[in-house]
Structure 1
């Protein structure tokens, strides 16, 4: 179909939410790109970073998992999680494979592309940065904490979010944004998945400068935990707009009633999976995005 060949879509986020969007964009093939957060410091990913350093691979692995179309020995290996009482307990083999390839490759993007080729994933997956960085947040009481896990546990509302250290964006991510006809933010954890890539100055500037692209924000279907749960939708959209150097979000997709007083174009559409009300349905996401592209 022409809609798949004439449009280039970029989705920005991390983990489950970005993987869901990319699965919905499967028909776009190599014309779809996911820019993935690399600041996770929890679980298997956090343990690997503590031992080996490098960027966080967990969100990239999660996205690739959701794009695997046919089960193979390779895909089963990539998805395998160790169990038991030893040091391997809880580690995902995909995380270890990406870390090993990163150590063997010239750059992290090469590791991602090798895995994509092995698992026959057409959609482009690009780490937001190829340099390790952590998320750092300041509460409204002035307390600073470092690391996604600690930010998620903060009881107070968040006043500021930054990368520590500041790192450059992956150049291929910037090119993808510059060429995009649509840029999608969300769904997913707002502070720890959507915001980290937007904190990269080059990403915000590239979104600002691409006036032809439709900038779309997709709302979560269930409340978040931690400080993100204390933010209104309007506050989240304002944070995105500031990170994107003042670029206004063109359309907000959600399932709620039209938000009174919201200074954004809010579209209420059916997005929930029939058997999991908190999870976005891939087909409904695809239809909603394609409808916006046809406007």
Structure 2
């Protein structure tokens, strides 16, 4: 059996970063799982949530888009974004399709699987939760704000991040983590993509319990803005480990030398795409993950 058939990989995050990792894991097929953040409240997703409720679909849609390998009428529909001056301006049809399935009382995970099958996407995509929830943050001056876009705009460093209301994790996501041989955090927006799933106690507990899995943190290639940009890499790793009940991150993968990280194993390697220095190269990511799994 090959590595792709023997090993199970789970990647946790949201939006562009998670989609990039999942596209690097495409050869693992159904042995790869993405657990997607569902707290976004900006853009088309935020407008839909304001008037329809439900979880945020935008990051899930983004991940599915990056995994489409065969362009078709179906994929063109799913990726279509309306333009004009009316109510539909800026809305993505994929978001509306998933919202419509939710309104038809289709379970969110079943809705995603229906879309995956339609678009021939093999990799499992699981929302972190199937219940609506928002990010809530406390800064060092004692100010609380609610909503992902508000968190991103906070001028001061954060001291705490929560979900409001508290919601249960999707059971299939927890099971995938418990069975994984590797669990990948990042790349992506630290506070609004990587942290939200980790704030669910069942996910943190599942990572802590699975001692056989290699826990991998993949760094961004360009600095973040907002409160996440004020955090050191060490602080980010400590936040992750705290939500995972003290579970140690096994390896930190990045492009720069990280000599100050004495408490973590660091793998410094080229990850940037040749024509987009801020974007991770899929083949380089795939090579690194295969190497770590093969150790």
Does 1:222 find its partner at 2:222?
A: yes
Q: Name the CA distance, whole Å, in 1 between partners of 2:221 and 2:174.
A: 29
2:32 maps to 1:45: no
- What is the CA–CA distance in structure 2 between the aligned matches of 1:46 and 1:40, rounded to whole Å? 7
Give, in whole Å, the separation in 1 of the partners of 2:153 and 2:225.
8
Residue correspondence of structure 1 range 98-177 to structure 2 within 5 A: 98-177=98-177
Give yes or no for the alignment of 1:11 onto 2:31.
no
Partner of 1:80: 80
Q: Distance between the aligned counterparts of 1:260 and 1:135, measured in 2?
A: 31
Verify the 8 A CA contact 2:272 2:281 in the aligned structure 1. Answer: yes
* Residues in 1 aligned to 2:110 and 2:258: alpha-carbon distance in whole angstroms: 44
Partner of 1:267: 267
Contact kept, 8 Å, 1:102 with 1:110, in 2: the verdict is no
Superposed displacement of residue 262, structure 1: 3.4
Q: Distance in 1 between matches of 2:270 and 2:48?
A: 39
Could you report, residue by residue, the CA deviation over 1:128-169 in whole angstroms, capped at 9, with x for unpaired residues? 000000000001101000001000001100010000000000
* Residue number in structure 1 paired with 2:36: 36
Shift of 1:261: 4.1
Q: Gaps spanning 5+ residues in structure 2: where? A: none
Long gaps (5+) in structure 1: none
Structure-2 separation of matches of 1:136 and 1:258: 31
Report the RMSD for the aligned CA atoms in angstroms. Answer: 0.7
TM-score w.r.t. the length of structure 2 is 0.99
Residue matched to 1:243: 243
TM-score when scaled to structure 1?
0.99
Q: Report the equivalent of 1:64.
A: 64
Q: Partner of 1:279: helix, strand, or coil? A: strand
2:272 partner SS: coil
Per the alignment, in what secondary structure is the counterpart of residue 126 of structure 2?
strand
Count of equivalent residues: 295
**TM-fit CA distance, 1:24:** 0.1
Name 2:20's counterpart in structure 1.
Answer: 20
Tell me the equivalent position of 2:280: 280
